[in-house]
Amino acid sequence: MKHYKKMIQPYVVWAALLIVIPLILIALYAFTEEGNEVLTLSFTWKNFAKFLESTYVNVVVKSFWLGIITTFLCLLLGYPLAFIISRFPEKTQATLILLVTIPEWINMLLRTYAWMNILADNGIINQLLDLLGMRPVNMMYTDFSVILGLVCNFMPFMIIPIHTSLSKMDKSLIEAAYDLGATPFQTFRKVIWKLSIPGVLNGIMMVFLLSVSTFVIPKLLGGGQYMLIGNLIESQFISVGDWNFGSAISLILAVIILIFMSLMKRMDKQEE
């Protein structure tokens, strides 16, 4: 055992350099005044106070709202797919899961640009509508386009954990439920759904975290005016140059996510 314990040391150094120290720096920035001289530290709550302005609160609300909708849609669409896949013979299941993950092999930017081409005012869909003699529809730079992009991108993160929990379920439990008088619907509600909840919670956690903190997809599909937390942080660092405020938002987001995750963990434990 001791021998193996030594092998963890490089990882500890790695984590310290690339995770812990940057986090400390972010915290430091968040609690200090503007100006990048580290030597003249003057602590302040100003950055957090600024965050309470209604513009910023609205951004947070919108981000969480979009995150919740995206997660809900992923669950609604992903669960049936995961369920259907889990009914196939094992070999077919492996192939189908591979198919689910294939889009993830292509760079997310490229996929998002593809959506732009499909949804644009003179994009594929509108050209088709035009051919059919119908009026063009404006889809780009709306909630619809952003949610569509988010759902398509993060769907696999919902499907895979749910599929895992469904496929490892003992099939004789389903037969036992039928045997004891449960209709297919009751069997789903009382046995299959209950036993897949750990996978569902994992999926929700993954998709929600990803969609709350994303910034590329809303930027491309939502346009420059579309502000989510991720875009706000990005703009503070890149265009506005207010690293202190950007750090404060990052910290707030991290804390909210931590609270969310511990809530999910507790739900998971209760289910068990």
Q: Which stretch binds another protein (CB under 8 A): 57-65, 94-102, 117-125, 183-191?
A: 183-191
Decide if residue 181 touches another protein (CB under 8 A). yes
- Tell me how far, at minimum, the Cβ of 78 lies from another protein, in Å: 22
Question: Phi first, then psi: what are they for 101, rounded to 5°?
Answer: -90, -15
* 36 to 28, 67, 236: CA distances (angstroms): 11, 33, 14
Decide if residue 266 touches another protein (CB under 8 A). no
123 Rama sector, left if φ>0, alpha if ψ -120 to 50, beta otherwise:
beta
Residue 33 or 175: which CB sits closer to another protein?
175
Q: Which stretch binds another protein (CB under 8 A): 89-97, 122-130, 139-147, 178-186?
A: 178-186
* 186 to 14, 42, 177, 190: CA distances (angstroms): 50, 62, 8, 6
- Tell me how far, at minimum, the Cβ of 191 lies from another protein, in Å: 6
Q: What is the rounded distance in angstroms from the CA atom of residue 118 to the CA atom of residue 92?
A: 31
- Contacting residue, 87, 168, 194, 265, with another protein by CB under 8 A: 194
Question: Phi first, then psi: what are they for 27, rounded to 5°?
Answer: -60, -40
Residue 64 or 193: which CB sits closer to another protein?
193
- Contacting residue, 176, 240, 258, 259, with another protein by CB under 8 A: 176
Q: Closest Cα partner for 34 from 22, 19, 44?
A: 44
Burial classification of residue 1, based on how many CB atoms lie within 10 Å of its CB (0-12 exposed, 13-18 middle, 19 or more buried):
exposed
Decide if residue 88 touches another protein (CB under 8 A). no
Q: Which stretch binds another protein (CB under 8 A): 50-58, 91-99, 168-176, 256-264?
A: 168-176
- Residues making contact with another protein (CB under 8 A): 170, 172-173, 175-183, 186, 190-191, 194-195, 271-272
